[in-house]
C-alpha cells in the first residue's frame, strides 16, 4: 500500500431521502448498503489485494 498503513481514505455518505449509505474506497470502488454493519464489513474487507 502506498504511504503505509493508515493513509487510505474511505468515505461514507448518507443518500438523502433514503435509508442508504454510499461508500467509496480510496481506489474509487463504490458500494451502497442500507445496513451500517454491512458497509463497515465491505470497507474493512475491500482493500484486500490493493497494491496502490
pLDDT at 37: 93
pLDDT digits (tens, 9 = 90+) for 1-52: 344 556 667 889 999 999 999 998 878 889 999 999 998 888 888 766 555 4
C-alpha–C-alpha distance, residues 28 and 35, integer Å: 21
pLDDT at 5: 58
DSSP 34: S
CB–CB of 23/11 below 8 Å? yes
CB–CB of 12/21 below 8 Å? yes
The C-alpha cell that represents 32 in the structure block: 451502497
pLDDT at 52: 45
C-alpha–C-alpha distance, residues 30 and 20, integer Å: 13
* Domain parsing of the chain, residue ranges: 11-45
Amino acid at each position: 500500500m502506498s504511504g503505509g498503513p493508515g493513509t487510505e481514505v474511505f468515505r461514507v455518505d448518507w443518500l438523502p431521502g433514503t435509508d442508504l449509505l454510499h461508500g467509496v474506497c480510496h481506489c474509487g470502488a463504490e458500494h451502497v448498503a442500507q445496513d451500517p454493519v454491512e458497509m463497515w464489513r465491505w470497507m474493512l474487507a475491500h482493500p484486500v489485494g490493493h497494491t496502490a
